[in-house]
Structure 1
């Protein structure tokens, strides 16, 4: 057994032996995300949950009063900000705010990888959400956005576990190639386990598990949207992989969705001009 395979087996065993969680799933943000995913979210429930988070409340008011959304008078309450922004925009702001906090670490090497991983996750979330709006397959934009954000959550889990191990064992030296190999080989399975463990909807767990399989369920449109969003980000170099020669419209997912060049170009133009997605 090589040193690499021994490390991978030990890492897998360590993850599966513990009831692991992540900061992105703290109780308040979990309840807020679940409420926002409902077909008919409760404005009162959302307001109450946001008011409980001072940082999130402040950011929401700042955005509502920005030049993009500003009305005749300033929004001074969370309720007025919610009404001005709308549920879809609040959903995006909340997930961006909450997730960004999780993709950082005290370890310089891991922090750098986490930054690229967050860029990729956000790029996939935006791409999947945009495509769900332009294509009529009965997938809500919020669902597609959330599935895109979570599809690589197993990679974040692996990075957090390795970071904790390095903190307690100063002699542990894990090079970037081995770390990336561990993420590639283990993230789908461990992401699925994590999302099931914390009782997220099965839809999102299946996307985490199946987004790299050679064959995919032809009726799972959330999965297909995330898969093509993943490819779009790879083709643009958003994240840890850059595959500029990828022919997006020739991919099985694009053919199945009936994607046009215009639809792909619209997504790529949006991603290319979105702040923070590129290193």
Structure 2
């Protein structure tokens, strides 16, 4: 669709919203920034993670869920860091805070946010599963986070709309067509703006920038994986789009990753299980 369909005043209003909208929890951001320095101890990670007890409690709940840990249980954040590693714990912190952020007191916007979380969560779990089961075990944590964040620009836009509606700046009467047009025109640029502002590593910026691009770097396996699980979620109807006829085995991404029909079937089963998973 053409970006001209969006009223220019609405586009400018959305693009001018503060970067500090509640997209990322401060503790989760602090953990991610700590990891980027490569200069931290287990105790330091645990201390930061415990700065918000509500978030820490949610992190432990997620860490002990079958989707993340199987039969291995942890009782404290420090124990989780020791068993899982700092990157996994940081991923769980970001996921826990994202799950909370995907909510609105506006029923119309809340519907979009819930569908968006279902999609992002499914993509993250799917990317982690593909990495663990298709010969890329060493990059599972990074792929999880890349998939979790690939549509963060959509959350930012929904939070921006919510803020403008609450302030009476724009009408609360919006339809699916306008929301989807706003997403298509702006979610990549705004997602990139967010992660660059918070100094996320460049590999996550590359995924956000190119996860819908017609021309993309086929040598970037993280990008190929996020693109693939994004398509798989679409096929399953996890999120705002449902395309049950998608032939995943025929995609360029499947060929690059070397994924076969059996692995696709298992991935789709995992995504179906994630649909109603409690987070």
How far is the alpha carbon of 1:195 from its aligned partner?
1.6
* Aligned partner of residue 97 in structure 2, secondary structure: helix
Counterpart of 1:196?
A: 196
Counterpart of 2:174?
A: 174
> Would you say the 8 A contact 1:130–1:267 is kept in 2?
yes
How far is the alpha carbon of 1:14 from its aligned partner?
2.3
How far is the alpha carbon of 1:104 from its aligned partner?
0.6
Q: For residues 139-186 of structure 1, what are the alpha-carbon distances to aligned partners after superposition, in whole Å with 9 as ceiling and x for unaligned?
A: 611110111011111111111111111111176122232112211221
* TM-score with structure 1 setting the length: 0.85
> Would you say the 8 A contact 1:63–1:69 is kept in 2?
no
* Count of aligned positions: 272
Counterpart of 2:13?
A: 14
**TM-align CA RMSD:** 3.0
How far is the alpha carbon of 1:118 from its aligned partner?
0.4
How far is the alpha carbon of 1:265 from its aligned partner?
1.7
Partners in 1 of 2:40 and 2:248 — Cα distance? 35
* Aligned partner of residue 245 in structure 2, secondary structure: coil
Mapped pair 1:126 → 2:121 = no
How far is the alpha carbon of 1:277 from its aligned partner?
5.9
How far is the alpha carbon of 1:39 from its aligned partner?
7.7
* Aligned partner of residue 115 in structure 2, secondary structure: helix
Unaligned runs of 5+ residues in structure 1 are none
Counterpart of 1:106?
A: 105
How far is the alpha carbon of 1:201 from its aligned partner?
1.4
How far is the alpha carbon of 1:19 from its aligned partner?
3.8
Partners in 2 of 1:178 and 1:242 — Cα distance? 18
Counterpart of 1:213?
A: 213
Counterpart of 1:79?
A: 78
* Aligned partner of residue 181 in structure 2, secondary structure: helix
> Would you say the 8 A contact 1:60–1:81 is kept in 2?
no
> Would you say the 8 A contact 2:6–2:181 is kept in 1?
no
Partners in 2 of 1:143 and 1:274 — Cα distance? 20
Counterpart of 2:240?
A: 240
> Would you say the 8 A contact 2:14–2:161 is kept in 1?
no
Q: For residues 230-272 of structure 1, what are the alpha-carbon distances to aligned partners after superposition, in whole Å with 9 as ceiling and x for unaligned?
A: 0000001100111001000101111121111122122111121
Counterpart of 1:250?
A: 250
Counterpart of 2:187?
A: 187
* Aligned partner of residue 124 in structure 2, secondary structure: helix
Unaligned runs of 5+ residues in structure 2 are none
Q: For residues 203-226 of structure 1, what are the alpha-carbon distances to aligned partners after superposition, in whole Å with 9 as ceiling and x for unaligned?
A: 112211111111210121111110
How far is the alpha carbon of 1:128 from its aligned partner?
1.1
> Would you say the 8 A contact 2:150–2:207 is kept in 1?
yes
How far is the alpha carbon of 1:93 from its aligned partner?
3.3
Q: For residues 42-100 of structure 1, what are the alpha-carbon distances to aligned partners after superposition, in whole Å with 9 as ceiling and x for unaligned?
A: 322221112211113334555677896477xx83x432354456657634532331111
Query: Judging changes above 3 Å, is the alpha-carbon distance between structure 1 residues 238 and 64 closer, same or farther for their aligned structure 2 residues?
Result: closer
